[in-house]
Structure 1
Amino acid sequence: MTRRARTPARAGWSTGLLAVLVVPAVVPAPASAVLPGTARAAAPDVVCRVRDERLTEISGMVATDSGFVVVNDGADEASRRRIFFLDTRCAVVRSVTYPSRPRDTEDLAVGADGTVWVADIGDNDRVRSTVALWRLAPGSRRPVLHRLSYPDGPHDAEALLVGRDGRPVVVTKQGGEAGVYVPTGPPRAGATVPMRRAGQVRLPATTTANPYSFFGRRLVTGGATAPDGRRVVLRTYADAFEFDVTDGDVVAALTGGTPRVVPLPDEPQGESVSYSRDGRWLFTVSESAGQPAGTRPTVLRYALPGGAASPVPSPSVAAPAASAPAAGSPPAGSSSAPAPDAVDAGRRRADAGGVRSLLLGVGVIVAGLLLVASVGAARARRTGR
């Protein structure tokens, strides 16, 4: 995704604005507000900060036994168009280049055998005749390209899920009901495999504060599968929604299940989500591009409601440092509970987010009134009244 299209403006913002002008205004509640079935927002643990200058637009992340794997979205600089392997302190230990230029890499997934799948599925302008998955097998130095096509025209998408059966599931980025698509056959190198629409997922409404107000709570920006395959999660700019998977059927979970909601309040540009290797936590990371100078992408850790399912051992997808602690463990010298100053900072972020959402809502309403007034004045001039 190019920098000119990093906000939801190119994902239907104008349509949403028209909707705001014709429905009663609803002032978003602060992040501390809780809907039925929604976990109370809690300050996350800070795991580590990504200081490599090539990583400012992180759009996808998976946790590994030895750290993380991340990708930027579509980048102009070749040095940023890579698959980056990080240790548990978020330092880059190696990177893998693509054999050809990817278009818009938006998410990552890891299979049961340790294969890393890169979702090259972004399409802000909806002009791509095909999208792609890059497959990086364990120990490989070169990802392999697999092309896919939609049955009903182009879609913008940022979420990829891969179940225990290895079947990729793509969830589109659109307000309201997001489309769920699966390949009609196994992805094949050098060929384009058609997808079919397997259903749709409608996320429950929340009031979680985020930079994009209502729109940020409706757009799916990432996904992940738990290591045991029994749960999957979709995220928006505001929240994470965790679904239980029965008999490995990810599509049924998304299209017919009721998710648990984990608020992710006030993440600046939240697009990435991953389970920890033990399945007990969610990791997220936001982009730093467009943020205040000196801001670095920060990996955060959120507790999941209801504990964890039993983890299933799987091959490590990266082993840069055998002595490094597992990514699901807190950094050395830290505890699993947030420090008091982190809690205070989280509360301050939630309060500030509520104020920003309120101001944004007021601003949109004022803009709408001004637009209506200007249209009325123009009509009056044309009719001479």
Structure 2
Amino acid sequence: MRVRGRLTWGRRARAGAALTALLAGVVAPAVALTPGAAAGAAAAGTPVCQVRDDRLREISGMAATDDGYVVINDGADDEARRRIFFLDQRCAVVRTVAYPSRPRDTEDLAIGRDGTIWVADIGDNDRSRPTIAVWRLAPGADQPVLHRLSYPDRPHDAEALLLDAAGRPLIITKGGSGTVFLYTPTTALRPGATTPLASVGQVTLPTTSTSNPFSFLGRGVITGAASAPDGRRVVLRSYADAFEYDVPDADVVAALTSGTPRITPLPDEPQGESITYSRDGRSLLTVSESADQPPGTRPTILRYPAMAGTASAVPTASAGSATSPAVRPAAGEASDAGNRTWPLAAGAGTLLALLGVAGVLRWRHTARR
């Protein structure tokens, strides 16, 4: 997310307090009616290392390597931050690679099996970009190559990138209501040309109650993605949780659109937009932005067990969706049909209040991008 007129910490804190109070009065009754939400306090991640370089305050994408990590910022206003950053295992910057031209909004990255680094320049807060892009940095190259892409329907805001078994980029939209969409190029990418994307499916996220700065809205958006080193698992993350899918037949799209994920809570990460697997595949690693946190706050890489999951998650309602994961309620739980009745019970007043909350959240994001 690019910064346009950054909020000071004090103003952000006051806005956050007002938002919290509003959510407490409006959202809490609705959450109490949501069956299958994760119960109890989720454990925080274990700190791995702290990123102290001042250029890395808005980390939006991360991938683990044998020697450390590769990370990117999502801000493009400061030239010094427009780099691909290579970190050692202690989170110290050891090398950077500049872009040959200015990126728009770099939001995620992935590393192919041949070592190629793919940077997803796909953020679009206003949903107004005629094209998005991916940058491809081949092993040993001095600078990445730009490949432009275009959606087949309308502009989307997106923050997550995966690579399929053939090494093609897979764009996952950010969503906002618990449903996200998948797009992949229709032909081989060529520098200097715009490649059309095709819609290849949608994913309906399970509901949880994991605490996060954006409450229920933070649980229904996707802000990052990663593939396990062996390619047999992929993970999507929201501001609140990690959703891990098995990929038994090397078909990432089928895994996401028809699989049932294991859920790892990522509680109370300040601005969680990055996720990767450890090199041995046993852990999930995350890092948050710190640009709008209290002075002195530094991004910290956190570790979570990759196989830790919570049971009894219920997918959000998606009427008419043929690709929603089929999740049976646990014994004693209400059915998903019952889950879909709470908005009606909440009444028109609550609906208007929720729209107001969404407007406040959009203001907060727009102000800091």
Please indicate the TM-score interval, normalised by the length of the shorter structure: 0.7 to 0.9
Following the alignment from structure 1 to structure 2, what is the Cα–Cα distance between the partners of residues 215 and 5? 23
Q: Does 1:151 align with 2:148?
A: no
1:293 alignment partner in structure 2 = 295
> 1:122 and 2:123 equivalent?
yes
Task: Give distance in 2, aligned partners of 1:262 and 1:73.
Answer: 25
Q: Give the match's secondary structure for 1:3.
A: coil
Distance 1:24 1:228, change over 3 A: closer
Partner of 2:175: 174
Alignment-derived partner of residue 360 in structure 1: none
Residue 26 (str. 1) matches residue 29 (str. 2) = yes
**Contact 2:37-2:208 at 8 Å conserved across structures:** no
Bigger shift: residues 38-47 or 60-69:
38-47
Distance 2:6 2:304 in 1: 25
Q: Equivalents in 2 of 1:40, 1:113: separation in Å? A: 40
Alignment: residue pair count: 297
Partner in structure 2 of residue 111 of structure 1 = 112
Distance across 1 between alignment mates of 2:172 and 2:119: 14
Q: Which residue of 1 aligns with 2:277?
A: 275
Letter in 1 for 2:254: A
Q: Aligned partner of 1:193: which letter?
A: T
Structure 1 distance, partners of 2:104, 2:242, is 26
**Is 1:101–2:102 an aligned residue pair?**
yes
Residues 153-176 of structure 1 show CA distances to partners (whole Å, capped at 9, x for unaligned) of 100000000133201110001122
Give yes or no for contact 1:111–1:162 (8 Å, CA) kept in 2.
yes
Judging changes above 3 Å, is the alpha-carbon distance between structure 1 residues 159 and 282 closer, same or farther for their aligned structure 2 residues? same
Matches within 5 A, 1:64-79: 64-79=65-80
Q: Does 1:231 align with 2:250?
A: no
The answer to whether structure 1 residue 214 and structure 2 residue 216 are counterparts is yes
Tell me: CA distance 1:138–1:222, structure 2 relative to 1, closer, same or farther (3 Å). same
Q: How does 1:1-385 map to 2 (within 5 A)?
A: 1-4=1-4, 26=29, 28=31, 35=36, 41-175=42-176, 176-305=178-307, 368=353
Aligned to 1:178, what secondary structure does the other structure show?
Answer: strand
Secondary structure of 1:252's partner?
A: helix
Distance (whole Å) between structure 1 residues aligned to residue 245 and residue 40 of structure 2: 14
SS of corresponding position for 2:182: strand
CA contact (8 A) 2:244 2:261 kept: yes
Question: Normalized against structure 1, the TM-score is what?
Answer: 0.72
Check the 8 A contact 1:146/1:191 in 2, yes or no.
yes
Amino acid in the other structure paired with 2:3: R
Give the 3 Å change call, closer, same or farther, for CA 111–56 of structure 1 in structure 2: same
Distance, in Å, in 2 between the alignment partners of 1:34 and 1:239 is 17
Identity of aligned residues (%): 66
Supply the RMSD in Å over aligned alpha carbons: 2.7
Return the alpha-carbon distance in structure 2 between the equivalents of residues 99 and 270 of structure 1: 28
For residues 307 and 35 of structure 2, the distance between their equivalents in structure 1, rounded to whole angstroms, comes to 14
Offset, 1:43? 3.0
Question: Which runs of no fewer than 5 residues in structure 2 stay unpaired?
Answer: 8-22, 310-348, 357-369
Which is higher, the Rg of structure 1 or of structure 2? Answer: 1
Give how far 1:2 is off: 2.0
Structure 1 stretches lacking a partner, 5+ long: 8-19, 308-363, 372-385
Residue 45 of structure 1: CA displacement? 1.4
- TM-score, normalised on structure 2? 0.75
